[in-house]
Amino acid sequence: MAGLAATLGNGAMSNSIPEIEDTKCLFVFGYNAADSHPIVARRIVRAREKGAKLIVVDPRMTESARIADLWLPLKNGSNMALVNAFANVLIEEGLCNKDYVANYTEGFDEYYKMVQKYTPEYAEKISGVPAKLIREAMRMYATAGDAFILYGMGVTQFGQAVDVVKGLSGLALLTGNYGRPAVGIGPVRGQNNVQGTCDMGTLPNVFPGYQKVTDPAVRAKFEKAWNVPQLPDQVGRMLTDVVHLTREGKMKAFYIMGEDPVQTDADAASVREALKAMELVIVQDIFMNKTALHADVILPATAWGEHEGVYSAADRGFARFRKAVEPKGDIKTDWEILSMMATAMGYPMKYKNTEEIWTEMIGLCPLYSGATYEKLERLGSVQWPCTTAESTGTPYLYAGNKFDTPSGKGLLFAAEWRPPMEQICKDYPLVLSTVREVGHYSCRTMTGNCAALQTLADEPGYLQIHSSDAARYGIEDEELLWIASRRGRVLTRAQVTDRANAGTVYMTYQWWIGACNELTAENLDPISKTPEYKYCAVKLEPIKDQVWAERYLEEEYSKLRHELSQPVR
Amino acid sequence: MGKGIIAMAEKVLTVCPYCGAGCQFYLVVENGSIVRAEGYAQGRTNQGELCLKGHYGWDFLNDTKRLTPRLKRPLLRRSRDAEFQEVSWYEAINFAATRLQEIKHKYGADSIMLTGSARGPGNEANYVMQKFARAVVGTNNVDHCARV
């Protein structure tokens, strides 16, 4: 989010998901739609059927790569070098839209200085992508007419993430691909309401509607509406600061709503250590999870299906979700629990329903002020900005090529490529990258409790490994093995596949036994503070006695299930 | 045949709780339980289509206990080596609120970190969470797990 917010003024998808199939060229970078967002993947297939060109940049032969016109299999951790080379080709070959660059962008001279040395030949040395292919990709992208960039966590989960996002947004600026349908750039969000959580200001630097906490006029507005004398004026801490701040004795209490950081955050051992050091851990959730085992108090909340509200889709689309069944047990909605907490702390808070909360919220946010419950009901979905009673929302941003930056222009930005922090070596000779799979989701408490989805895949999850690496270690398909990094060691099961590239192995992050975040490193992007989930050094240890390994797996799994069931009777 | 069943079935229009594509579909409810999901042709992003998770991802609401049990009552332990005890809402909230106040007074509001949730709770719950952090606790230390 930080990347696009800096260069374009808005961190969300510039265009809509339905527009994907109407573009002339799809440029997919570090994004495996088939496993992460199957419905978006279908749009990609449909775009292809309608004649769009498809360029895919990914180290793995993903489904999109399989049907692509051009597949650029880059080395893991070389994103920035390749993106700089793309810009280099666009400029040096005269493929950029000079009028557009002159009228609607700024920062070209410095940008050009930075990308000048990233010739395709130079980038080939770093990324392993042939120079010829880099040139072909940019010729295809720049001459398509309408081109749409999609990127995913193959970009954002590196130590150098924000720079790469800025770089990608620059390619669309150079070619004038903004401000009309079926162009632009789209980060496709991993979880259903990542966009909404940002929209609501669950961020340390902004109130709802992306209004800065450092702006005195904004604070005054919220102070008045919320009836408090003074709101904090310093940007707050990020979630990824928690481990080190706790170590330094600066963080004492943690109120966790609907997250499982022990399972989903990098370097799980450090997260556990932080939770143990906290004086108070409050967990508010729907299921017992690994994080809740460290709590002092657990507040049971209703789940999706048991309460109503609004989600934001990745393309800024607000839509209402509804209650289908009555909750079982003595549980409450998240907002009721928070209202009780506020009241007990001396701030009386009472809402009748979600509509009352929503109405208060849109009244404070010019960006959403026209998106009433009534309108959402009537139209089904409304994409913000929706600033007036008449507005039906905004499918694409930057109409008239007016960007939401202070100057109104799009910012061209490039940075030097930085290699990933942890390098492979003799002891840890393989790269581990964490990825998604289609049947499960996030920390798995929801999908793992669904019969059909659990049958599809269960513990300890799979390690995707290229056949040449598997042969070198003497590992057969479906065999159990150990994988270790400098931080931990876990059991996993081999899936020998040549869709993975040699030298890198891939794991999904939802497993308890095969918990890849016991292995990952917390090399944070300096701006977004997102950990480097996509790159750490590991080694493999084959297991001779597979019968023992299968039994060990069963025992460990039962033990964990028992530990997590125990507090709930 | 089936007339009675049709009369009892109810369709609830909703949005998928999994990825960020924002697919809209119906949950078909019979006798207070969800029995299946059905695509919604007018869904802006999915136009009736659903993936595996959309089709089968509602089952956890039936508390299958395949992996973990649903939380049903507030749980509290007054020391970390004690077992969790079921308590009333009053006791749980009172404990959590009192301890948060104590920590705030002793170490300052910025010693407290809070999270929103990018998953099931929804925008209203996240709005209330950041309001709680800012207006009640008095800190901007509020964040969620998927921020880039």
pLDDT single digits (tens) A106-132: 999 999 999 999 999 999 999 999 999
The answer to whether the Cβ–Cβ distance between A250 and B99 falls below 8 Å is: no
pLDDT band of A486, cuts 50, 70, 90: confident
Residue A171 lies in a domain: yes
pLDDT at A447 over 90: no
Same domain, A162 and A253: no
Chain A, residues 382-411, CB within 8 A of chain B, namely none
The answer to whether A265 contacts chain B (CB < 8 Å) is yes
pLDDT at A530 > cutoff 70? no
Q: Tell me, what's the pLDDT at B9?
A: 84
pLDDT in tens, A127-163: 999 999 999 999 999 999 999 999 988 787 777 888 9
Residues in A closer than 8 angstroms to B83, CB to CB, are 567
pLDDT of A38 reads 86
Rounded-to-integer distance, Cα A83 and Cα A163, Å: 10
Give the one of A213, A298, A525 whose C-beta lies nearest to B75's C-beta. Answer: A298
Domain presence at residue A541: yes
Nearest to A344 among B19, B97, B145 (CB): B97
Q: How far is CA B110 from CA A25, A271, B139, in A?
A: 47, 19, 6
Cβ contact, residue pair B20, A314, below 8 Å: yes
Residues B141 and B127 in one domain: yes
Q: Is residue A549 part of a domain?
A: yes
Same domain, A204 and A171: no
Question: What was the pLDDT predicted at A444?
Answer: 66
- Is the Cβ of B35 closer than 8 Å to some Cβ of chain A? no
Please check whether residue B91 touches A, CB under 8 A: no
Asked if residue A540 and residue A469 are part of one domain, the reply reads: yes
Residues of B in contact with A156 (CB under 8 A): 148
Which percentage of chain A shows pLDDT scores above 70? 95
Per the CB < 8 Å rule, is A191 touching B142? no
Integer Cα distance of A555 and A17 in angstroms: 44
Q: Tell me: the pLDDT tens digits for A44-84?
A: 999 999 999 999 999 999 989 999 999 999 999 999 999 99
Return d(Cα A507, Cα A135) in angstroms, integer: 32
pLDDT at position B34: 92
- Contacts B108 to A, Cβ<8 Å: none
Which of A137, A185, A147 is closest to A7 using CA atoms?
A185
Q: What pLDDT, on the 0 to 100 scale, is given for residue A260?
A: 85
Task: Name the nearest CA neighbour of A188 among B18, B63, B124.
Answer: B18
A-chain residues near B118 (CB < 8 A): 189, 191-194, 196-197
| Sign of the CA dihedral running A193, A194, A200, A202 | positive
B49: domain CATH number is: 2.20.25.90
What pLDDT does A441 receive? 54
Same domain assignment for residues A254 and A123 = no
pLDDT over 90 at A93, yes or no: yes
* A231 inside 8 A of chain B by CB: yes
State the pLDDT confidence band at A516, using cuts at 50, 70 and 90.
Answer: confident
| pLDDT reading at B95 higher than 90 | yes
Q: What's the average model confidence in pLDDT over A442-465?
A: 75
Residues B125 and B148 in one domain: yes
- Does residue B101 sit in the same domain as residue B87? yes
Residue A231 and residue A335 in one domain: yes
Residue A265 has pLDDT above 80, yes or no: no
Inter-chain contact B72–A328, Cβ cutoff 8 Å?
yes
pLDDT grade for B4, boundaries at 50, 70 and 90: very low
Q: What is the CATH number of the domain that holds A136?
A: 3.40.228.10
Q: Is A67 on the interface with B (CB under 8 A)?
A: no
- Same domain flag for A316 and A442: no
**Interface residue B127 vs chain A (CB under 8 A):** yes
Which of B57, B117, B136 is opposite residue A447, by nearest beta carbon? Answer: B57
Q: Is the pLDDT of residue A43 over 80?
A: yes
Residues A243, A382: one domain? Answer: yes
User: CB contact, 8 Å: A330 with chain B?
Assistant: yes
- DSSP letters, A33-64, are HHHH-HHHHHHHHHHHHTT-EEEEE-SS--HH
Same domain membership, residue A174 and residue A39: yes
CB atoms B122 and A196 under 8 Å? yes
Residues A141 and A247 in one domain: no
pLDDT at B7: 52
Instruction: Please give the pLDDT value at position A518.
Output: 79
Residue A484 has pLDDT above 80, yes or no: yes
Contact A372/B at CB under 8 A: no
- Identify whether residues B21 and B57 lie together within a single domain: yes
Of A363, A527, A567, whose CA–CA distance to B72 is shortest? A567
Interface contact B140, partner A, CB < 8 A: yes
Is residue A445 pLDDT above 80, yes or no? no
Look over chain A and give the mean of its residue pLDDT values, rounded to a whole number: 91
Residues B12 and B57 in one domain: yes
Which residue is closest to A233 within chain B, CA to CA?
B140
* Domain region containing A286: 194-392
Q: What is the CATH number of the domain that holds A450?
A: 2.40.40.20
Q: Is the dihedral of CA A367, A372, A373, A379 positive or negative?
A: negative
Evaluate if residue A436 carries a pLDDT over 70.
no
Q: Give the pLDDT confidence of A409-423 residue by residue, as tens digits.
A: 999 999 999 988 888
Which of the listed residues A188, A211, A227 is the one where a domain comes to its end?
A: A188
Residue B123 and residue B147 in one domain: yes
The pLDDT value recorded for residue B2 is: 43
CA distance to A476, A499, A503, A507, per residue, from A464 (Å): 12, 9, 11, 7
* Nearest-neighbour CA in chain A from B133: distance (Å): 9
The pTM assigned to this predicted structure is 0.91
Q: What is the mean pLDDT of residues A222-233?
A: 98
- Residue A42 domain-assigned? yes
Is it the case that residue A359 has pLDDT exceeding 50? Answer: yes
- Per the structure, the count of domains in chain B is 3
Are A305 and A323 a contacting pair, CB within 8 Å?
yes
Q: Is the domain of A339 the same as that of A469?
A: no
| pLDDT at res. A523 | 66
Residue A437: the pLDDT is 60
When pLDDT is averaged across residues A203-213 and rounded to a whole number, the result is 97
pLDDT reading at B3 higher than 80: no
Indicate if the pLDDT at residue B73 is higher than 80.
yes
Query: Tell me, what's the pLDDT at A240?
Result: 86
Element (H, E) at A438: none
A24 and A116 within one domain: yes
- Please indicate, yes or no, whether residues B12 and B38 belong to a single structural domain of this protein: yes
Both B58 and B17 in one domain: the answer is yes
Q: Are residues B101 and B135 in the same domain?
A: no
d(CA A475, CA A544): 10
Verify that B17 and B51 share a domain, yes or no: yes
Given a contact cutoff of 8 angstroms between Cβ atoms, the answer to whether A30 and A154 are in contact is: yes
Mean pLDDT for A94-101 is 97
CA distance B48 to chain A (A): 10
Q: How close is the nearest chain B Cα to the Cα of A543, in Å?
A: 27
Give the separation between CA B44 and CA A73, rounded to whole angstroms. Answer: 33
Do A39 and A122 share a domain, yes or no?
A: yes
Query: How confident is the model over B116-136, as pLDDT tens digits?
Result: 998 889 999 999 999 999 999
> In 3-state terms, chain A is what percent helix, strand and coil (to 5)?
40, 15, 45
Residue A408 lies in a domain: no
Tens of pLDDT, residue by residue over A304-356, are: 999 999 999 999 999 999 999 999 999 999 999 999 999 999 999 999 999 99
Q: Which of B122, B115, B73 is nearest to A271 (CA)?
A: B115
- Structure token digits, residue A231: 């709101």
Asked whether the predicted pLDDT for residue A14 surpasses 70, the reply is: yes
User: Can you give the pLDDT at residue A566?
Assistant: 81
Kindly state whether residue A295 falls inside one of the protein's structural domains: yes
Q: Of the residues A167, A188, A209, which one is the last residue of a structural domain?
A: A188
**Structural domain span for residue B45:** 8-62
| Interface contact flag, A447 B89, Cβ < 8 Å | no
The confidence band for A367, taking pLDDT boundaries of 50, 70 and 90, is: very high
